[in-house]
Chain A
């Protein structure tokens, strides 16, 4: 793999960029979801936000899983 980084450094970078960001993202959207739990579900914007944050949790989980699988 030609580039400025060694094989190990590049994949460590990829892991931090994917797994690390996913972990932060998971915490961020979990907090958002808990905050919106108290809001009125009849409001379509609240429903959009809840759906968006739930999808955020799913995507963050995929990111963390993929990063872990790479090193197994």
Chain B
């Protein structure tokens, strides 16, 4: 009986599912970059409405990649990071362009970009602290990213630009103060 029990192999824990970075969700994320040249062209030639629609397409693709990841079951830590990088690139580019062409006030744009850069650096430190590819999930920052997309649309559509841009800064500073504590000071949760 004892010998029989000893011969039964111990259950092997299932290996974590490996998702290729070349998957449909990341393709949708990457396709967001295609809206940027069109956006620039529209702003440079004074096409306010077309520039707004380009940024709208970029925002919709941002929503679509999460849906595609769920449908094709290809969610990954790399995908989340790539999504965050795409957000920073697209919205950073959009903000710089509208400010450069005088469609948005420069001071709030510089503030937003500086705070965004600080957030990116802290996320890098968080990854180093965790010792693995991970993305700190900030419910507040997710909402602010949507607001950032809107900010560019407000500038291209000339829709209450001053009001929306100046109110954005204190909201972003509050979120960053909270997330700084979570990313740099609080303990990091175990990988799940």
Residues of A within 8 A of B (CB): 1-5, 10-11, 14, 17-18, 29, 44-45, 48-49, 51-56, 58-59, 62-63, 65-67, 69-70
Number of interface residues of B (CB under 8 A): 33
Main secondary structure of the interface of B (DSSP, over half): helix
Q: Quick one: closest B residue to A15, CB to CB? A: B159
Cβ of A10 and Cβ of B147 under 8 Å apart?
no
**Is residue B160 within 8 Å, beta carbon to beta carbon, of the partner chain?**
yes
CA distance A16 to B154 in the complex (A): 13
Selecting from B25-33, B103-111, B123-131, B137-145, the interface stretch reads: B137-145
| Shortest beta-carbon contacts, A-B, top 7 | A52-B139, A3-B49, A55-B140, A52-B140, A66-B160, A56-B143, A14-B159
CA distance A1 to B50 in the complex (A): 10
CA distance A17 to B55 in the complex (A): 13
Cβ of B159 and Cβ of A2 under 8 Å apart?
no
